[in-house]
Amino acid sequence: MAGHSKWANIQHRKGRQDAARSKLFSKLSKEITVAAKMGDPDPEKNPRLRLAVKAAKSQSMPKDVIDRAIKKSQAGEGDDYTEIRYEGYGPNGIAVIVEALTDNLNRTASNVRSYFTKCGGNLGQTGSVSHGFDRLGEISYAAEASDADTVMMAALEAGAEDVESDDEGHFIYCAMEDLAEVSDALEKELGESTESKLVWKPHARTEVDLETAQKLMKLIDMLEEDDDVQTVTHNFDVPEDVAAQL
């Protein structure tokens, strides 16, 4: 597998820090409500809901807001959301996967298509780029949480498939259907993780130049600003000399 992208991790953290708190909470609440509506409202009996609640807690979402999102699903309140995935190409053919929860498919499709077009890319058919990614569970720990050897041993014992450790942290990968189980097992050995989520992991990453990186950053920003978009994944990386210019 390709190594974990330090640039992607740095940008992900920066995005979390820069994001408007209300917008971030809105997206997290939406996922909690959908997860609870699709399964059991008890996180212990609903792996997807458990992961959604964990993600919310990692962003310091108040417990009462989390509880309200769960209760909303049981009260039949709010809109019915449809999960949809868009796949396309950014500038220079960079693969981009966009996951959304929407109550208006026409609106979301139109918006996503316009973002790609404005940034020199184009929206493709479902499956046009996802074949270049693996759908996996990813569990993250801070670099100081433990040493690489300890994390590797704990991950293997928990049933994980791969571990990547660097100065940005430890990233543990497992089959998507095993995420909740592996995450719970790791917490018993290593303590609470920084994050547990499903990801699209690219088979390989493509380094980009300054101009392409700037266009891609614009595209990702536009997508992440959209209220319907939950996640944006790509397969590019930025060399250190280019990153220094951004």
| Rounded percentage of the chain residues whose pLDDT exceeds 70 | 90
CATH 3.30.70.980 segments of the chain: 82-131+205-243, 133-202
Backbone angles phi, psi at 123, to 5 degrees: -80, 135
Is 133-202 CATH 3.30.70.980?
yes
More confident residue, 111 or 18: 111
Structure tokens at 130: 């996802």
C-alpha 160: how far from chain center: 18
What angle is formed at CA 3 by the lines to CA 147 and CA 237, rounded to 5 degrees?
125
pLDDT at 13 over 80: no
Q: Which pLDDT value is given to residue 54?
A: 87
pLDDT tens per residue, range 16-62: 555 567 788 888 999 999 998 888 888 888 888 988 998 888 888 89
**pLDDT the model gives residue 246:** 72
pLDDT of residue 19: 52
Q: Which pLDDT does position 1 carry in this prediction?
A: 38
Say which range, 18-27, 147-156, 218-227, has the weakest mean pLDDT: 18-27
Alpha-carbon dihedral angle through residues 213, 218, 220, 223, given to the nearest 10 degrees: -160
What's the whole-number average pLDDT of the chain? 88
Quick one: pLDDT band at residue 8, thresholds 50, 70, 90? low
Residues 6+ apart with CB under 8 A from 178: 137, 159
Q: Which CATH superfamily is 6-74 part of?
A: Integrase, N-terminal zinc-binding domain (1.10.10.200)
Token digits for 89?
A: 């190409």
* Average pLDDT estimate for 211-237: 93
Given 3.30.70.980, 1.25.50.10, 1.10.287.3510, 3.20.20.70, which CATH number is that of 82-131+205-243? 3.30.70.980
Q: Cα torsion for 181, 205, 93, 175, to the nearest 10°?
A: -20
Of the given ranges (68-82, 86-100, 189-203), which has the lowest mean pLDDT?
68-82
| pLDDT interval class at 211 (50, 70, 90) | very high
Please, where in the chain does CATH 1.10.10.200 lie?
A: 6-74
- Of 4-8, 144-148, 237-241, which has the strongest mean pLDDT? 144-148
